[in-house]
């Protein structure tokens, strides 16, 4: 009997302990608050279609528009220069850059000119007798002939008889030989074709200059060209005479230029078009690196937005009755940061800052700028 009582009391204790434990667990449960649906706030802008200027970014280094590489077409000793022939030296137009010693060649030219003079003098008696009507002009030519000056052009031949007579005496061939020698004599002296600066000098005074040898480089520092590459899909936006904004690498100095030339062919490797921008400024130097913003044509009835707002490059979020909607747009031009788009009506509100987790049909609240909402008391 005592055994059954002990078992019964133990069961009661176990049942009571379990009930108490269940009570404690149940009392610690907290009711979950009802899930509140959050509505995100978005920033919007209102569409106002206008004329948007398209700016094409590009960069490159400056090259002097007027530049010549100096080469010698003859051989001789470097004898004279109007100034010290050194890099950085400036010359005025018409000043002598390089003059080679041409005494020996000059003597051969004078000999040929003297031979021409003698040939003309030898035919004067025959002209007086056989062709008296042309004698005066040849006499005048002979009297005006100066060996120290450039050989003048021969008198105009009046008829075929005169031509046969002059040609038969070898005067025409001698004349053209003299003119050829005189032209070559000019090449012993190189004259500055414009006001400029010597950027490279390979030879010095007294040095022997050989035919075909490079002597240096000469540029005009007042006008430069910037060669840039523009993607071929924007070729229809460019035209000569367009203004260009230029800045240096540090962005501290600004310059103004114009599109002077556009290459008609496309680079097969890069599929781009070469555009040349003319710029003038006293502070510019050849080889300076500049960044350009080429102002292409105006796009009518368009707006400018951040490129990151586009979805799949052709869609944009707008707000209708506090609900997001995804609509198709027409991107006319896109750069790394901006996009020019068409296809939205005036007054349409579009999202101007990206919204995480956005989707069509998402309920939103439009942020109202408090400063704009304030009215004066």
Query: Can you state the angle between helices 103-130 and 160-168, rounded to 10 degrees?
Result: 130
Q: How far apart are CA 62 and CA 288, in angstroms?
A: 5
The arithmetic mean of pLDDT across residues 196-211, rounded, is 93
pLDDT at 92: 95
Query: For residue range 218-264, what is the model confidence (pLDDT) as tens digits?
Result: 999 999 999 988 877 777 777 888 888 899 888 788 999 998 988 88
Token pair belonging to 22 = 């269940």
The predicted-structure confidence for 6-21, as pLDDT tens digits, reads as follows 776 777 777 777 676 6
For residue 193, pLDDT over 70 is answered with yes
CA distance 212 to 203: 13
Pick the CATH number of 44-52+301-373 from 4.10.240, 1.10.10, 2.60.40, 2.40.420: 2.40.420
Phi, psi of 273 (to 5 degrees): -115, 135
**In a 3-state reduction of DSSP, which class is residue 118?**
helix
Comparing CA positions, the residue from 320, 369, 367 lying closest to residue 41 is 367
Rounded distance, CA 56 to CA 358, Å?
31
Going by C-beta distance under 8 Å and a sequence separation of 6 or more, which residues neighbour residue 7? none
Convert the pLDDT of each residue in 29-88 to its tens digit. 555 555 455 778 888 888 899 888 877 788 889 999 999 999 999 999 999 999 999 999
Whether the pLDDT of residue 350 is over 80: the answer is yes
Same fold, 44-52+301-373 and 55-64+221-298: no
Yes or no: say if 293 and 275 are a contact pair by the CB < 8 Å rule: no
CA distance 216 to 34: 86
Q: In whole angstroms, how far apart are CA 377 and each of 302, 368, 374?
A: 38, 19, 9
Domain boundaries, the chain: 44-52+301-373, 55-64+221-298, 69-93+193-217, 104-186
Q: For position 3, what pLDDT does the model report?
A: 66
Residue 277 has pLDDT above 80, yes or no: yes
DSSP designation for 311: B
Q: Which residue has the higher pLDDT, 344 or 37?
A: 344
C-beta separation of 80 from 204 below 8 A = no
Task: Characterise 89 by phi-psi region: left (phi > 0), alpha (psi -120 to 50), beta (else).
Answer: beta
In a 3-state reduction of DSSP, which class is residue 76? strand
Say yes or no: domain 55-64+221-298 is CATH 2.40.30.170: yes
The reported pLDDT for the residue numbered 23 is 66
* Whether 215 contacts 72, CB under 8 Å: yes
Pairwise CA distance, residues 355 & 42, whole Å? 7
- pLDDT value at residue 198: 95
Measuring CA to CA, how many Å separate 221 from each of 70, 81, 285, 308? 17, 20, 7, 43
pLDDT tens-digit map of 119-151: 999 999 998 988 899 999 999 999 999 988 999
Can you say how many angstroms the Cα of residue 359 is from the centroid of all Cα atoms in its chain?
Answer: 43
The percent of residues in the chain predicted with pLDDT above 70, rounded, is 90
* pLDDT higher than 60, residue 200: yes
Q: What is the pLDDT of residue 184?
A: 94
């Amino acid at each position: 009997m005592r055994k059954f009582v002990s078992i019964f009391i133990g069961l009661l204790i176990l049942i009571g302990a379990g009930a108490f434990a269940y009570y404690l667990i149940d009392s610690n449960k907290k009711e979950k608050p009802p899930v509140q649906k959050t509505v995100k706030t978005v920033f919007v802008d209102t569409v106002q279609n206008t004329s948007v200027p398209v700016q094409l970014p590009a960069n490159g280094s400056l090259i002097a528009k007027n530049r010549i590489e100096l080469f010698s077409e003859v051989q001789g000793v470097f004898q004279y220069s109007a100034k010290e022939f050194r890099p950085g030296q400036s010359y005025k137009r018409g000043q002598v850059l390089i003059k080679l010693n041409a005494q020996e060649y000059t003597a051969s030219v004078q000999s040929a000119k003297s031979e021409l003079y003698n040939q003309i003098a030898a035919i004067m008696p025959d002209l007086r007798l056989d062709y008296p009507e042309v004698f005066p002009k040849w006499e005048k030519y002979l009297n005006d002939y100066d060996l120290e000056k450039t050989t003048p052009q021969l008198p105009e031949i009046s008829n075929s008889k005169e031509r046969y007579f002059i040609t038969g005496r070898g005067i025409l061939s001698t004349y053209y030989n003299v003119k050829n020698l005189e032209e070559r004599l000019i090449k012993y002296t190189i004259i500055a074709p414009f006001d400029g600066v010597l950027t490279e000098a390979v030879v010095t005074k007294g040095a022997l200059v050989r035919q075909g040898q490079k002597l240096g480089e000469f540029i005009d520092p007042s006008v430069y060209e910037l060669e840039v590459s523009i993607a071929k899909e924007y070729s229809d936006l460019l035209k000569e005479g367009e203004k260009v904004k230029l800045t240096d690498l540090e962005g501290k100095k600004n310059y103004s230029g114009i599109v002077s030339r556009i290459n008609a062919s496309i680079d097969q490797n890069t599929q781009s078009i070469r555009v040349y921008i003319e710029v003038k400024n006293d502070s510019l130097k050849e080889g300076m690196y500049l960044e350009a913003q080429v102002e292409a044509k105006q796009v009518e009835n368009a707006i400018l937005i951040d490129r990151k707002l586009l979805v799949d490059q052709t869609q944009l979020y707008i707000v209708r009755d506090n609900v997001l909607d995804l609509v198709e747009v027409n991107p006319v031009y896109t750069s790394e940061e901006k996009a020019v788009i068409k296809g939205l009506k005036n007054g349409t509100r579009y999202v101007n800052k990206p919204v995480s987790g956005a989707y069509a049909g998402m309920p939103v609240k439009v942020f109202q700028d408090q400063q704009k909402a304030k009215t004066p008391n």
